[in-house]
Amino acid sequence: MIVAEQKTLDEIKSLVGDARKVLVVGCGTCVTVCFAGGAREAAIVATSLRMASRLEGVERDVTDVTVQRQCEWEYLDGIGEKISEADVVLSLGCGIGVQAIAEHFPDVWVVPGLNTSFLGLPTEQGVWAERCAACGDCILGLTGGICPIARCSKSLLNGPCGGSEDGHCEIDPEIPCAWQLIYERLERMGRLDALFEIQPPKDWSTSRDGGPRKIVRADLRLSPEEE
């Protein structure tokens, strides 16, 4: 899932500025499960903004609404009227949600209420950790299902650097060394020989380094008559 964190109320307030009519838009998918921008959080942020406005003596109309997926236009159409009426839309979706609104409603001012952090999973109650960097050419088949691109601090492809110690990465004792994990897993699976092969330099062109990415599936496209 996409994991995000809420911005501070101070930053949110400065992003909202002196707008009178504020619409907080939550998202019912990834950011709901990571407790950053679901219906519950949208309601709380709206209440906090209302309280802050009252304390500052500013007249402000703050409402909230949550759609199932902010990153698909058809879900946004359902709240199109509300969005169009707002002076500012505070999106509690991930960065994709914010952009979906901006793209679909060219005349509406939209600001982000979250910091989109990474692609990851919850490892225990209240803890999320990064797992994938969307490099566009998955090598998990070589590394025992543990991603060195996202989880090694240096995205190394040929094994651990000299900083690996007691299972953690040199940059932080709280961060497991991805290559220690890969080593242990391949050892357990009897596949250590995979580590003795030299992996050539990665083709990063499938990653963000190749420029903004786009996938076109000819088999799924509508023919001109269908459009």
Partner 1 sequence: MTARAADNGYLSGSNLERVLRAGHFAVTAELGPPQSADGDVIRRKAALLKGNCDAVNITDNQTAIVRMSSIGAGTILVQEGLEPVIQMTCRDRNRLAIQSDLLGAYALGMRNVLCLTGDHQSFGNHPTAKNVFDIDSIQLVQMVAAMRDEGIFQCGEPFKGQEPRFFVGAAAAPFADPVEFRPYRLAKKVKAGADFIQTQLIYDVEAFRKYMEKVRELGLHEQTYILAGVGPLKSPGMARYMKKNVPGILMPDEIIERMQAAGAAWAGKSKDELTPEEKKARSRAWREAGIRICIELIQQLREIEGVAGVHIMAIEWEEAVEPIVSGAGLLPRPVVETSAPQKAASPGGS
Round to the nearest angstrom and report the end-to-end CA distance of the chain: 31
Q: Which does 184 bind (CB under 5 to 8 A by kind): partner 1, ligand SF4, none?
A: partner 1
Q: Are the C-beta atoms of 5 and 120 separated by less than 8 Å?
A: no
Write down the least CB distance from residue 131 to ligand SF4, Å.
7
What character string, x for contact with ligand SF4 (CB under 6 A) and - otherwise, covers 163-202? xx----xx------xxx-----------------------
Report 149-208 residues binding partner 1 (CB under 8 A): 153-167, 170-172, 177, 179-180, 183-184, 195-196, 198-202, 204
Beta bridge partners of 65: 25
Q: Is 140 in the site for ligand SF4 (CB under 6 A)?
A: yes
Report 197-216 residues binding partner 1 (CB under 8 A): 198-202, 204
Site residues, partner 1 (CB under 8 A): 153-167, 170-172, 177, 179-180, 183-184, 195-196, 198-202, 204
The site for ligand SF4 (CB under 6 A) is made up of: 132-135, 138-140, 147, 149-150, 152-154, 156, 160-161, 163-164, 169-170, 177-179
